[in-house]
Structure 1
């Protein structure tokens, strides 16, 4: 095989495949996770030792005039191979030799879920449709009138000589009796006639049912977050002006959308460039993408399914959408015409067939970050002007009704 030759392998941190270790000896770079298991196995089988080297600019590499970043080191024979698998594209296949396919993945769009809950104070009255409230107010008004009628004109009641009949309830008493029941309060006036008591009991049972339904629906609306789906296809994403699109530099998706003649892909690439110009920090490091997703719900990140599995552990409440651009394949890139590509392919084929690559991926993906449990959504009393307007209006109407009642009682007593 390689007779103990020392290979230079380019490396960068990438999800659960490669993680930089805190412990290093003699200033050497120490990486763990899948890459260590993989290259230890390859080194034993092919009889070589290896040294891990990071690119100076810490980038994956893309083609401008020449290849830069990690791919640039491979193209200039600065290293023997890349320790990170890359997607195979037309431009890369012309500049590099690729090993046997290691992973297959799908293109996905990830973004934070949007909530349909509009939790301002109007949520308190949005539990039922407006027709329910109108019917409820009409029913209450009918109950007030019927209760007053039953109490003032009790049919079939007889009074003995000298007996003073009980004072019938005033209009305010009837109003308060009907209003306090759904508010779970007692009434100052108890019905004296049997008909009034039967009616009052029926009104209490009716209010218990309505209040229970209202309370249950309100708790459900506040505590359950309804998902708002802004787009379902890549075309809808391209036409959505609210979302900014980010794609990591050096990925195969850059070539897909940058050099495509499809109108939808051109729109996607234009939005990617706009996002880059708006944020200079753009896309040199995947941690920056994750920060963007955490900061705003209006960032859409186009990446592979292998990356999204890692992002889900860091960004809570993430939504994934599959792109319809077909599967992509990851392989280790070597310098053009390198004989190492064929040597490595034989061992990689064996590792793929016997399931070791998948087993290592499962092994290192088992460590998950703790996710915060979302608390119950609170009602936001942000629109205070309209809330105060309604309160003042209600108080004004109540004072007006009481004033009219007192005026009518005074006129009746005068007469």
Structure 2
């Protein structure tokens, strides 16, 4: 336990500066301590008023700090201190000396009190009776846990599906602004807080429609700026928690954890021109190529050995017969035997060939080699043909943007981000990395900034075309997808597989607002019970309908050039190459 003693002896006009210096020194001590109680002794109402105001402005006295003001002044003489003392965990002890008898009374300044009821006596003390509590309030009561007098507070709010939805009521209010109301899970949470804490509320929307980001001049835009200027008491949100915003507002306990995703337009079903390669996996294609090379090498080695020990019996065409069997190229020739490869791919024809073929003595190894290769080719080609007929009916639905890197690598793609939110603030503070590149892309004109109320229109017009993507929270994205499928009956959009930029979301209050600790306990009870998640799921209709929409579909239609054009292109390319090789052979023969 430590004690710090500070004394202000200045009088006159310099009391303000003198107290400010003392408060700054005392604040350093408070920041190094876990639990602090501050006792101020003064009979000067000007000094007490200056101290209370400077303590709030400098954040020296926070709600966790208990303040005891000891004075001989009567409660009526401290009326100017009511606004500041009502926002502190503070109590006033007034002393009275009567002959040899000393007594004191303890008063608390209650918030949102009508005139004449600003202070409430909670205890008294004298030498005869000791400390006596007055009424049901304890010493240093939790006066914001439930307000003694019903208060009317201002709540800054804006549309944020699925947490809050703005409904326009038509007409204008007293300030000439369109009349509106807010619905959604956050409003249900706010109603619970209002009932349990005894307050009513009115909504105000930010003029710029933004949540709030730090501006170059140090001020904040949007609802965060309204709280910092004390134009609102609570920010409904929920707001993404960030260090820059925490400079001017206080966050409540977290309400939800969410992360960003990409909404892209699902393309039309397309034919994959490389579909004829899909019946076999890449490893199978590699295996077929390796087995073909192995069969040709074996034929070449055995042919060499055969010619060495049996001169005059050449079998140079056997290597090419391996390839001809694989490619269905007419008849393959064994010595004195002709085999039709088309019939050889049927097992019965294979057996007939084995029975009828007459192979000269000493050449049976050729028959064994080629027959084994035909069996391997039979299984492979039949499997390929069966799968190919099925895959030619498959249509692929393009979903090209599955990560932030995919978007950055496509210069033709434009991103849509919410204006002045925590994501933009974070990215603008970076000096390297993927999201620094996103910020650079924005400075190069590849980002369009929209208010949250304009997102649905942007999805329906820009994102649907396929050359724009919306970067938004996962829960909000599911609302847009659900609305689209409810109105159109189709899944025209998709969500990226990758998620990024996780954020904790919470309500906000003014800096050092005593409302925040009182709100925390109730918010924790609602979130831990799962009630808020239940409300949120009910606010997202058809949220799972398009969550796992297939990227491939099958159709029943005739095959056209769009299905097979690449195979014709390969055929044409083969003919061009063969002509070039023929010309080279003619040229070579003439040169020889």
Please classify the TM superposition score into its range, dividing by the shorter chain length. Answer: 0.5 to 0.7
Q: Distance in 1 between matches of 2:156 and 2:329?
A: 80
Counterpart of 1:141 (choices 329, 354, 373) is 329
- Three-state SS of the structure 2 residue aligned to 1:321 is coil
**Conserved 8 A contact 1:281-1:288:** no
Q: Distance in 2 between matches of 1:343 and 1:386?
A: 69
Kindly state the Cα deviation for residue 258 of structure 1 after the two structures are TM-superposed: 0.8
**Conserved 8 A contact 2:270-2:397:** no
**Conserved 8 A contact 2:331-2:338:** no
Counterpart of 1:240 (choices 381, 384, 409) is 409
**Conserved 8 A contact 1:120-1:380:** no
Higher relative contact order (CA 8 A, sep 6+): 1
**If each structure's strand is expressed as a fraction of its own residues, which one has the higher value?**
2
Q: Partner of 1:83 in structure 2?
A: 236
Q: Partner of 1:350 in structure 2?
A: 525
Kindly state the Cα deviation for residue 222 of structure 1 after the two structures are TM-superposed: 5.2
Q: Distance in 1 between matches of 2:384 and 2:399?
A: 25
RMSD, matched Cα: 5.1
**Conserved 8 A contact 1:127-1:218:** no
Q: Distance in 2 between matches of 1:380 and 1:96?
A: 64
- Please say which structure displays the higher CA radius of gyration: 2
1:139-218 → structure 2 map (5 Å cutoff)? 140-143=328-331, 210-211=381-382, 213-218=384-389
Kindly state the Cα deviation for residue 270 of structure 1 after the two structures are TM-superposed: 0.7
Q: Partner of 1:335 in structure 2?
A: 510
Counterpart of 2:554 (choices 376, 399, 406) is 376
- Three-state SS of the structure 2 residue aligned to 1:85 is strand
- Three-state SS of the structure 2 residue aligned to 1:270 is helix
Kindly state the Cα deviation for residue 17 of structure 1 after the two structures are TM-superposed: 0.8
Inter-CA distance 114–31: structure 2 relative to 1 (3 Å threshold) = closer
- Three-state SS of the structure 2 residue aligned to 1:349 is helix
Kindly state the Cα deviation for residue 45 of structure 1 after the two structures are TM-superposed: 1.0
- Three-state SS of the structure 1 residue aligned to 2:329 is helix
Inter-CA distance 74–213: structure 2 relative to 1 (3 Å threshold) = same
Q: Is residue 492 of structure 2 the alignment partner of residue 321 of structure 1?
A: no
**Conserved 8 A contact 2:414-2:447:** no
**Conserved 8 A contact 2:264-2:494:** yes
**Conserved 8 A contact 1:81-1:333:** yes
- Three-state SS of the structure 1 residue aligned to 2:509 is strand
Kindly state the Cα deviation for residue 16 of structure 1 after the two structures are TM-superposed: 1.2
**Conserved 8 A contact 2:274-2:566:** no
Q: Partner of 2:587 in structure 1?
A: none
Q: Partner of 1:185 in structure 2?
A: none
Inter-CA distance 150–267: structure 2 relative to 1 (3 Å threshold) = closer
Q: Distance in 1 between matches of 2:572 and 2:241?
A: 68
Q: Distance in 1 between matches of 2:191 and 2:272?
A: 58
Q: Distance in 1 between matches of 2:494 and 2:211?
A: 28
Q: Is residue 293 of structure 2 the alignment partner of residue 123 of structure 1?
A: no
Question: Any idea what the Cα deviations from partners look like across 1:219-266, whole Å, max 9, x if unmatched?
Answer: 24753859988777x7x5697355655542222222222112344442
Q: Distance in 2 between matches of 1:35 and 1:253?
A: 21
1:87-106 → structure 2 map (5 Å cutoff)? 87-105=240-258
Kindly state the Cα deviation for residue 312 of structure 1 after the two structures are TM-superposed: 5.5
**With structure 2 as the length reference, what TM-score do the two structures score?**
0.47
Q: Distance in 1 between matches of 2:407 and 2:572?
A: 47
Q: Partner of 2:153 in structure 1?
A: 7
Question: Any idea what the Cα deviations from partners look like across 1:22-41, whole Å, max 9, x if unmatched?
Answer: 77799742332202311221
**Conserved 8 A contact 2:270-2:396:** no
**Conserved 8 A contact 2:261-2:474:** no
Q: Distance in 2 between matches of 1:39 and 1:282?
A: 27
- Three-state SS of the structure 2 residue aligned to 1:90 is coil
Q: Distance in 1 between matches of 2:520 and 2:240?
A: 16
Q: Is residue 447 of structure 2 the alignment partner of residue 251 of structure 1?
A: no
Q: Partner of 1:50 in structure 2?
A: 201
Kindly state the Cα deviation for residue 149 of structure 1 after the two structures are TM-superposed: 7.1
Q: Partner of 2:262 in structure 1?
A: 110
Q: Distance in 2 between matches of 1:260 and 1:339?
A: 34
**If each structure's helix is expressed as a fraction of its own residues, which one has the higher value?**
1
**Conserved 8 A contact 1:9-1:83:** yes
**Conserved 8 A contact 1:16-1:33:** yes
- Three-state SS of the structure 1 residue aligned to 2:498 is strand
Q: Distance in 1 between matches of 2:261 and 2:392?
A: 28
- Three-state SS of the structure 2 residue aligned to 1:317 is strand
Inter-CA distance 254–386: structure 2 relative to 1 (3 Å threshold) = closer
- Three-state SS of the structure 1 residue aligned to 2:224 is helix
- Three-state SS of the structure 2 residue aligned to 1:320 is coil
Inter-CA distance 278–319: structure 2 relative to 1 (3 Å threshold) = closer
Inter-CA distance 335–55: structure 2 relative to 1 (3 Å threshold) = same
Q: Distance in 1 between matches of 2:430 and 2:573?
A: 61
